[in-house]
Amino acid sequence: MTILVAGGTGLAGSAIVRELQRVNKKVIGISSKDVNLLDRVKTFSYIKDLKPNVIIDAAAKVGGVGSNNAYPVEFLSQNLQIQSNLMDAAHEAKVEKFVFLGSSCIYPRNCAQPIKEDYLLTGELEQTNSAYAIAKIAGIELIKSYRKEYDYSWISVMPTNLYGPNDSFNLENSHVLPALIRKFVEAKQNNLPEVILWGSGTPLREFLHVDDLAKAVLVCLEKYDDPQQINIGSGDEISIKDLGQKIANLTGFTGKVVWDSNRPDGTPRKVLDSTKIHKLGWKAAITLDQGIAATVEWYQENK
């Protein structure tokens, strides 16, 4: 059995490739250097020639609040193209299993907490990343549609905020946790007196190490077969302010932390209800302290 991981060099994809290799599965991880998934003809040709049994779609244009808010056209259009090209190509090649990775930002901005799968499309989205969220919601709907029309065992998984090795630490487009790691590491190295962070620091977030996600994806691949998306979260939440202080401590930064309240906060609170995947036998194993310490070390060695 051949498993193709699209986005196989990115944050989530590389972790899934490592986990599949660990359990001795035949896996091929691809990036845009192997095939441009925005090119429909090349995508169809690649999948037809490879004939994988399983496709795990971890390929996406991703970024933090700032880049999502600044480039909504790219986040909506490119993600729609990537996922539809890959799913349509998989259909033509009669791929047995397809796992679509979405994002917790698909849920309404002011959702009841913790967020259940049933809360999808029950309220307005967070406007700073609504374009990306709508693209991911469209991916869920396309998975459901292929299941309904062609009786495929294709599924959608919705991870919470991810972090770990191979993340993007580019301050222009990174997510909050890697951005904080880079800022505090550089401030420590350069003996800066203060670090300026976005927003008020009050939003609550849940974070999941990608190695835990990878194990969850394999559990879903083996045990989950339902049209509804399934949440994957750690269950632990932390304020951005406390997260900043935790990363400052772990990097050894002792200066002042300044919060720029003129910058957007994003969704006020976001923690997933992961009861469904817990019932399948998976729970997150890596604590936030363990995961951040390992990620700081990885960044310092690989930046």
Active site residues: 132
Bridge partner residues of 270 (DSSP): 205
Mind giving me the DSSP string for 183-198?
Answer: HHHHHHHTT-SEEEEE
CB atoms within 10 A of CB 25: 15
CA 8 to each of CA 20, 32, 92, 285: distance values in angstroms, whole numbers, following the listed order: 11, 9, 22, 23
Phi/psi at 204 (5° precision): -105, 135
Angle at 220 between CA 217 and CA 223, to 5 degrees: 150
The DSSP string of 46-68 is HHHHH--SEEEE-------HHHH
The H or E element that residue 78 is part of is helix 72-92
Question: Cα–Cα distance between 193 and 186 in angstroms, integer?
Answer: 12
Position 14, amino acid: S
